[in-house]
Structure 1
Amino acid sequence: MVPPLPPLHGELMLDVFTHRALTRSVLNDHTLHGNSDRLAQLGKSVMNTIVTYILFAERPMLSGEELKIKHEQTLSDEIMVAWLGAYDTELKKRVRLGGAPRGALDDPEEARFLLNSYVGAVCIQDGLQAATDWVSKLVKPESPPLALVDDSQNRTLPASPVPSPSSAPLPVPPQAGSTSQAAPPPYHPTPPEVSTIPSGVPQGTLALFNQTCHQRGFSVEWVASANGFQHDPRWEVKCKVNDVERGFGVGRNQKQAKELAAYEAYLYMQSIGWTLPEPEPTA
């Protein structure tokens, strides 16, 4: 029994469900992902990393050579074809083949490409933790998914010192009316990491971010959600500027998560000169 297929939306869904024979690897600069080839490369790296981490955590420990062999077995052609076959109705039969021959997805290379594209799309849309939750359940259905958390309290080696929030200088936003010639870089949500305090976030960032957005006429929306155990909740907050996600934060409480999301959004908006030349499509 495979875990439920994470739903995709918008351009991501269209690209994943359209065979590359139809798209011919054309890059779409108006999206964050570009095309399915880029998604597949991202998904391949994410899949390899998650599987390696799962095997690395096994006890008794695997040797380096054993880990390598088991990794190859876990992501073998037979396994990839079997996984895709398990999602026959939800995924395999929904792909528009175009000029590709009937039964093309039975080929191990095509099955691997489609699954890697899907993993990459999940990572772009919902974050690394969402992709990890899904892949973990594919690899080890009987075990709980890996949690991407800050394990600094359990490390035997001292962690690198973190600068005090009060000592970290705030970047200065450009004056109203200034323009930026460079094209805005793509926004990639930060992989969720739980920390006990919003380390490195300068004091006053949230207030400065809200003030700057208000002065420039940008709308700001905060989307908060909590999961985990009631006694130990995990808060996630997304910061949307003009309906487009620009920041993401995770914390032990909503205030922490919001401050982290504001800081990430502030840095992103700073990097593009606080200009939004045209509305971006939403998922």
Structure 2
Amino acid sequence: MVLSNYPELPRLVGDDVGDVSLAIFSHRTTSPIDAPQYPGFGNGDRLAELGAQVLQCAVTKYFFRHPAMFSAEHIRERVGRIMQGPKVHEWLDLYGLKTRLTFGPELNRDEMLGNDHEMSKYFCTYVGAIFYCNGPVAVEEWVRQLLNASLDGVKVEAEDTMPGQEGPSPPIYTPPPIPSGYPGPSAGNSNEIDTGATSITLPPDVMLITRAKVHEAAMQATPKVHISYAETSEGPSHTPVWTVRCLVNDVEQGRATAKSKNEGKDMAARHAYVAMGWHRTGRN
């Protein structure tokens, strides 16, 4: 497959996109069974269930609108092949999504990545996240373009936007956290950990560590530890300054101040990564 022939993978938008991304790319085995749910969307299993229903609806609509005027039986057959067939594996490989999924240490990664059920659920998780973050029109338009590029023959044209409907959300680029962090009120750079007497500067390679990787390190620790976050905000509601604490087994191990909650979580998680000594044990 040639990527240039396919639509770009929709970039998720919203203030909680960091939490959503963590839920997408972390297999359920990376979190305790009783892990608290995220506000708004809950967890990856909820996104997967939402995505399965949304994807089936979008694919059904595609074949319903197809110029070939498929019969109801043919629509069901084609939808079933898309939902559970090799197309899901092709799309996950196309967008490099398989490489981003993390599993618990007890699982065989190759076996999981080849499991049709697990990969279908993973793909549906991302679809559910698009619906949650970008809206239903973004899902339908992406699926339409994806199927047009994947299937031979006559294509399905975009729908005319009806009065009162919004057009598809354009991809929005979310820049990575700024390495030096954001200075908060009465706070130093976010890449330093204030320990009271001294400050610990994060090594440059730790600045590349993702929050998902920090959670993976927590699951691989002996014994396993649980990571959670506590956030507070100050200032005007339209331009708040967030202070985030990263808790390991309910004990603060990292703290950061940033202009968005997600950036604060990312940086606080990196602080905890260093405070726990995981950067010295090869877990990065």
Structure 1 CA distance for aligned equivalents of residues 32 and 166 of structure 2: 40
Instruction: Give the C-alpha shift of residue 76 in structure 1.
Output: 3.0
Identical columns (%): 27
The answer for the alignment partner of 1:242 in structure 2 is 237
Shift of 1:86: 1.5
Ranges in structure 2 where 5+ consecutive residues have no aligned partner: 168-235, 240-259, 264-284
Normalising by the residue count of structure 2, what TM-score does the alignment of the two structures yield? 0.50
Q: Which has the higher contact order (CA 8 A, sep 6+)?
A: 2
CA–CA distance in structure 2, aligned partners of residues 72 and 17 of structure 1: 25
Partner amino acid, structure 2, of 1:38: R
Contact 1:15 1:36 in 2 (8 A): yes
Q: How far 1:29 sits from its partner (Å)?
A: 4.0
Aligned to 1:68: 76
Partner of 2:225: none
Give unpaired runs (5+ residues) of structure 1: 152-191, 196-240, 245-279
Offset at residue 77 of structure 1 (A):
2.6
Higher helix share: 2
Corresponding letter in the other structure for 2:237: N
Matches within 5 A, 1:94-173: 94-99=100-105, 100-103=107-110, 104-141=112-149, 143=155, 146-147=158-159, 149-150=161-162
Structure 2 equivalent of residue 92 of structure 1? 98
1:59 partner SS: coil
CA RMSD between the two structures? 2.9
Alignment of 1:1-283 (within 5 A): 1=3, 2-8=6-12, 9-24=17-32, 26=34, 28-88=36-96, 91-99=97-105, 100-103=107-110, 104-141=112-149, 143=155, 146-147=158-159, 149-150=161-162, 193-194=165-166, 242-243=237-238
The letter for the 1-side match of 2:27 is H
With the length of structure 1 as denominator, give the TM-score of the two structures: 0.50
Change (3 A) 1:150 1:74: same
Cα shift readout 1:58-104 (whole Å, capped 9, x = no counterpart): 1231111111112112223311112112223xx21111122331211
Count residues with an aligned counterpart.
161
**CA distance in 2: counterparts of 1:150 and 1:69, whole angstroms:** 30
Offset at 1:3? 2.3
**Structure 2: how far apart are the matches of 1:112 and 1:145?**
26
Question: C-alpha deviations, 1:111-144, integer Å up to 9, x for none?
Answer: 1111100011111111111122222222112847
- CA deviation after TM superposition for structure 1 residue 26, in Å: 4.5
